[in-house]
Chains A and B, each alone.
Chain A
Amino acid sequence: QVQLVESGGGVVQPGGSLRLSCAASGFTLSSYGIHWVRQAPGKGLEWVAVISSDGRNKYYADSVKGRFTISRDSSKNTLYLQMNSLRAEDTAVYFCAKDDYYDGSGYHWFDPWGQGTLVTVSS
C-alpha cells in the first residue's frame, strides 16, 4: 500500500527553524517526484516545493525560496523540508504528496497525500 506519513511539526518562534519529514512506504521515493503543499488554517492549498525523481531538480514557491530546502534520503525512503527564518505566515498544515503520471504523456498529478503535520509559528 502506497503511503506517506509526515512528522516534525510543532510550535516555533518567528525566525526559528524546523525540519519536516515525509516517510514513504509501498514505493521507492527516488523513483518519483515528491511535493510539499501547505494549507494555512481555514485557507486553501498552496504548493510549496518539489524534488524530481532523480533528485537533481528542485523548485520552490516564491514565498519560501531562499528559506526552505527540500531534500531526501534514499536509504531511509524519506523526504525532508528544512524550514529556516520562519514567519507567522508560514503557519499551516504541511502535506507531502507523490507525483504520479502517465508514461510519456507529460500529464501528472498528486496522489497519494500524507495526513499532514501542523507547523505553528508564534512567539
Chain B
Amino acid sequence: DIQMTQSPSSLSASVGDRVTITCRASQSISSYFNWYQQEPGRAPKLLIYAASSLQSGVPSRFSGSGSGTDFTLTISSLQPEDSATYYCQQTYSTPYTFGQGTKLEIK
C-alpha cells in the first residue's frame, strides 16, 4: 500500500498569512494526487485535483504543486473560513490512501 505522510499535523496561523502544507508519498505516484478540505461535521470537499488543478468554485488563493512523491498545498492569504482539516490523497492505486490530515486553526 502507498503511505501518505502529511506535515504538519496541525498549525495555527493569522488571517493574511501564507500557509503551506506538505504531503509525501511512499512511492512515486506521478500526479495521481488530490487535496480535500473538511470542516467539522461536514463531508470532505475537493480543492485540488491532479496535483495542481483548482476545482471549479474554489478560491484562487488555494494552489497545489508537486509530482512524483512530494506535494504542496498553499493558501496564499489565509481567510477565517479556511479553518478546517486538510487531507491529501493518492489515486494511483488501490487502496486509495489519504494522509492523516492537517488541522488548520486561525489565530
Q: Which residues of A contact B (CB under 8 A)?
A: 35, 37, 44-47, 50, 59, 61-62, 95, 97, 100, 102, 105-116
Q: Which residues of B contact A (CB under 8 A)?
A: 31-32, 34, 36, 38, 42-46, 49-50, 55, 87, 89, 91, 94-101
- Which A residue's beta carbon lies closest to that of B91? A108
Of B43, B96, B100, the contact of A44 (CB 8 Å cutoff): B100
At the interface, is chain B mostly helix, strand, loop or mixed?
loop
Given A44-B100, A102-B50, do A111 and B55 touch, yes or no (CB 8 Å)?
A: yes
Of A95, A105, A109, A116, the contact of B34 (CB 8 Å cutoff): A109
- In the complex, the answer to whether A107 meets B31 with C-beta atoms within 8 Å is yes
At the interface, is chain A mostly helix, strand, loop or mixed?
strand
Residues in A whose Cβ lies below 8 Å from that of B91: 107-109
A109 to B45, CA, bound (A): 11
| Across the A-B interface, the 10 shortest Cβ-Cβ residue pairs | A113-B43, A109-B49, A107-B50, A111-B46, A45-B98, A109-B34, A47-B96, A59-B94, A44-B101, A61-B95
